[in-house]
Amino acid sequence: MLFQKAELRKRNLPEIANVLDLFCGTGQIYRSVYEGRAQHYHGVDHKQIHDPRLCSLINNNVYIQRHDLGQYNVFDLDDYGCPWKELHLVMAKAKQPEITMFVTDGLVVHLKVISLLSASKMLSATEQIPRSMKIPGLNRWYVDTFGTMLKGIERRYGYKAVKAQYFPNGRETVYYWYILFRKVNNES
């Protein structure tokens, strides 16, 4: 999967890329994609970092809240889970005319599990589903749910998702996304 994940990023990386890599970990994506291609790179992770000269060892949400993100036009969110909270935090602070976002999203696994229990807080907010409702097979609507979340970002933060590409891993437990956002008032 690393190859396909890296290729998605390489194909869609802007010519001038200033990258904030949240959940940078051991630096596999940095070495595969950003090293030598990004004009500026900064990695953030709360567990481990690959290079203290390029990265900060801190909670990603804390970093987003405490730092100016205006210098970045590429955000890479890969938290081995669901990075929707970080996506919203970034978009709430964004001022750039165009933003490239790479998202590795494991929500689909969560949806498989919670569909047996009840709707999650996030899903309840996104899809207006009562939290106590049990929906078997909820994971089958993952892509639609992600699309609804993107529409919510458009309404809240003044950006339009002008391009989106995705593919799942082989077991469909993780989805890899590329989204290009444009500030609404900068569209022709």
Tens digit of each residue's pLDDT (9 = 90 or more) over 43-60: 999 999 999 999 999 999
**pLDDT beyond 60 at 104:** yes
Asked if the structure places residue 126 within a domain, the reply is no
In a domain, 134, yes or no: no
Please say whether the beta carbons of 74 and 52 come within 8 A.
no
DSSP collapsed to 3 states, 96-116: CCEEEEEEEECHHHHHHHHCC
Beta strands at 74-78 and 18-22: parallel, antiparallel or unpaired: parallel
What is the full DSSP assignment across 166-186?
EEE-TTSS-EEEEEEEEEGGG
Q: How far apart are CA 81 and CA 5, in angstroms?
A: 16
83 occurs within a structural domain: yes
pLDDT tens digits, one per residue of 13-41: 999 999 999 999 999 999 999 999 999 99
Residue 114 lies in a domain: no
Given the structure tokens 């229990």, which residue do they identify? 117
Task: Please check whether residue 187 lies inside any domain of the structure.
Answer: no
Unique residue bearing structure tokens 């437990």: 173
Name the percent of the chain in helix, strand, coil, to the closest 5.
Answer: 40, 25, 35
Number of domains in the chain: 1
Q: With b meaning 16 or more CB within 10 Å and e meaning fewer, what string describes 56-89? A: beeebeebbeebebeebbbbbbbbeebbbebbbb
Specify if 120 maps to a domain. Answer: no
The per-residue pLDDT for range 59-75, each reduced to its tens digit, is: 999 999 999 999 999 99
pLDDT in the model for residue 126: 64
Q: Which domain holds residue 82?
A: 2-106+146-182
Q: Is residue 50 one of the residues assigned to a domain?
A: yes
User: Looking at the domain assignment, is residue 138 inside a domain?
Assistant: no
**Highest averaged pLDDT of the listed ranges 98-107, 123-132, 142-151:** 98-107
Alpha-carbon separation of residue 142 from 59, 69, 158 (angstroms): 27, 29, 24
For residue 101, the domain's CATH number is 3.40.50.150
